[in-house]
């Protein structure tokens, strides 16, 4: 996982709303934990039910994580319509500090979960799923300031040749964050 200390304006959450020179609108940081109904304002989710599902479930009432931003689009420069995007997420501010230290280990924990899942499903070559997921994701952690606290957030950049692959990869990431991770022994304590 890459670590970046870049000093951009996506460090202090909630972010400011902005309209870019090209007309794109960034609605700013929306705290979906405090106001889940505002998910309808996130225009980046239109046409991507798999991304909507990831954002909605990761910000559910009883989770450990929350999202800070996302985007996706199709590459219109070629005929294959490759999907590209990212999701920013981290632990919620009320999460124990001991859990927040897991942020730098979440990538390896995710791939371990995926391997165990593929084995339990009886996949013939479970490591192939890991390699495939690794070709879909690039993980990076960056600084985060939220409600007077400072720690790290993760940006997972994804690419997928179609909606089915995006659904598969982000679906597994969502399940890991919201079901598998909370069941780990050190988290249940």
Q: Enumerate residues 6+ apart whose C-beta is below 8 A from 100.
A: 90, 91, 151, 152
Digits of tens for pLDDT over the chain (189 positions)? Answer: 555 555 455 677 777 777 778 877 777 778 999 999 999 999 889 999 999 999 999 999 999 999 999 999 987 776 577 899 999 999 999 999 889 989 999 999 999 999 999 999 999 999 999 999 999 999 999 998 898 888 899 999 999 999 999 999 999 999 999 999 999 998 975
Domain with 123 in it = 2-188
Neighbours of 110 (CB within 10 A): 22
Query: How many structural domains does the chain have?
Result: 1
């Amino acid at each position: 996982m890459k670590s970046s200390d870049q000093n951009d304006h996506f460090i202090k959450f909630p972010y400011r709303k902005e309209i870019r020179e090209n007309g794109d609108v960034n609605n700013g940081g929306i705290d979906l934990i405090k106001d889940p109904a505002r998910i309808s304002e996130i225009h980046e989710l239109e046409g991507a039910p798999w991304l909507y599902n990831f954002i909605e479930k990761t910000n559910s009432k009883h989770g450990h994580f929350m999202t800070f931003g996302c985007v996706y689009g199709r590459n219109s420069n070629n005929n294959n319509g490759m999907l590209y995007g990212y999701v920013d997420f981290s632990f919620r501010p009320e999460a124990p500090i001991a859990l927040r230290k897991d942020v730098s280990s979440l990538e390896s924990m995710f791939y371990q979960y995926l391997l165990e899942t593929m084995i339990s499903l009886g996949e013939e070559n479970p490591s192939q799923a890991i390699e495939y997921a690794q070709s879909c994701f690039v993980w990076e952690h960056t600084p985060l300031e939220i409600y007077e606290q400072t720690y790290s957030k993760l940006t997972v950049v994804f690419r997928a040749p179609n909606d089915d692959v995006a659904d598969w990869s982000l679906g597994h990431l969502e399940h890991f964050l919201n079901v598998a991770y909370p069941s780990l022994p050190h988290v249940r304590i």
